[in-house]
Amino acid sequence: MCSSVTGGRNNMALVPYVENSSPLLSKLHSASAQFEFNSHRVTVSQDWRRHGVAAVLWDAAVVLSVYMELGELQLKGKRVIELGAGTGLVGIVAALLGAEVTITDRASALDLLSTNVKSNLPPDCEGSATVSELTWGQGLDRYPAGGFDLVLGADIVYLEDTFVPLLQTLEHLSSDATAVLLACKIRYERDRNFLSMLKERFRVEEVHYDRQRDIHIYKAWKLQEPRADL
């Protein structure tokens, strides 16, 4: 458990460390992005050329991290899992806020992800974050069914072929008490189709919208199965 998070929301801040916003292509090809969180500098390495979209810090991850930092959720001591973590910023921030985090992505993304997690967590956070391989819809029995208080995902809704296994994964990881937070940009009609699919299995509401970055945050809870004896 991190001991560095001791105050209220007013003395915690996640803000860009870089002074100037750069154009999209510059962001994609930058070697790293820097932030300051509660007087702790977070430097997230990225490698677009070698690993593509999984190794880029997207705006949705920044918006979701800021949302968590604002104190809308109680994270201290909570069991959290992040899906499609990419560079790992969201999971790192959750760990800095006191959560016990499992940070996951496909096997090809784990080297960069592990490096970012290890380099950004202070000694008093050691053991609060674990990096693990997870391909949606596969090998789910390696993760406890309904075993997490919170499931996080930033910009993971964009490939239509992944929608069904992503839903299977969300259902497996969630109990009736689990909250799911998804931060995403609605780019295409298929993204709205995913939200419709999600609403068939989860109660969904929009809890935040970042107008500047055009990022929505949706919170979802698994719908309870009807009782057989009713």
Q: Is residue 36 part of a domain?
A: no
Beta partners for residue 131, in sequence order: 103
Tokens read off for 186? 């609605």
Q: Is residue 159 part of a domain?
A: yes
Cα gap 46→67, rounded to integer Å: 22
Cα gap 64→156, rounded to integer Å: 12
Cα gap 146→130, rounded to integer Å: 18
pLDDT digits (tens, 9 = 90+) for 139-190: 999 999 999 999 999 999 989 999 999 999 999 999 999 999 999 999 889 9
Q: What is the pLDDT of residue 141?
A: 97
Cα gap 35→62, rounded to integer Å: 9
Is pLDDT at 51 greater than 60 in this prediction? no
Q: Is residue 165 part of a domain?
A: yes
Q: Is residue 27 part of a domain?
A: no
Cα gap 117→129, rounded to integer Å: 8
16-23 average pLDDT score: 41
Q: Give residues with Cβ within 8 angstroms of 40, minimum separation 6.
A: 4, 96, 122
3-state SS assignment for residue 206: strand
CB burial string 76-100: b at 16+ within 10 A, e below: eebebbbbbbbbbbbbbbbbbbbbb
Binning pLDDT at 50, 70 and 90, where does residue 17 land? very low
Residue labelled with tokens 């799911």 = 180
% of the chain surpassing 90 pLDDT: 63
Q: What is the DSSP string of 35-90?
A: EEETTEEEEEE--HHHHGGGGS--HHHHHHHHHHHTTSS--TT-EEEEES-TT-HH
pTM as predicted: 0.85
Domain carrying residue 117: 52-222
CATH of the domain at 111: 3.40.50.150
Is pLDDT at 35 greater than 80 in this prediction? no
pLDDT digits (tens, 9 = 90+) for 185-228: 998 899 999 999 999 999 999 999 999 999 999 999 999 875 45
Average pLDDT, the chain: 84
Q: What is the pLDDT of residue 39?
A: 63
* Burial class for 207, CB neighbours closer than 10 Å (0-12, 13-18, 19+): middle
Q: What is the pLDDT of residue 124?
A: 83
Is pLDDT at 86 greater than 80 in this prediction? yes
Cα gap 69→22, rounded to integer Å: 24
Q: Is residue 9 part of a domain?
A: no
- Counted domains in the chain: 1
Strands 215-222 and 202-210 come out as antiparallel
Q: What is the pLDDT of residue 172?
A: 98
Q: What is the DSSP string of 83-130?
A: ES-TT-HHHHHHHHTT-EEEEEE-GGGHHHHHHHHHHHS-GGGTTSEE
| pLDDT top residue among 84 and 41 | 84
Q: Is residue 200 part of a domain?
A: yes
Q: What is the pLDDT of residue 19?
A: 38
Q: Is residue 62 part of a domain?
A: yes
Q: Is residue 21 part of a domain?
A: no
Q: What is the pLDDT of residue 135?
A: 97
**Amino acid identity for residue 122 in this structure:** P
Binning pLDDT at 50, 70 and 90, where does residue 229 land? low
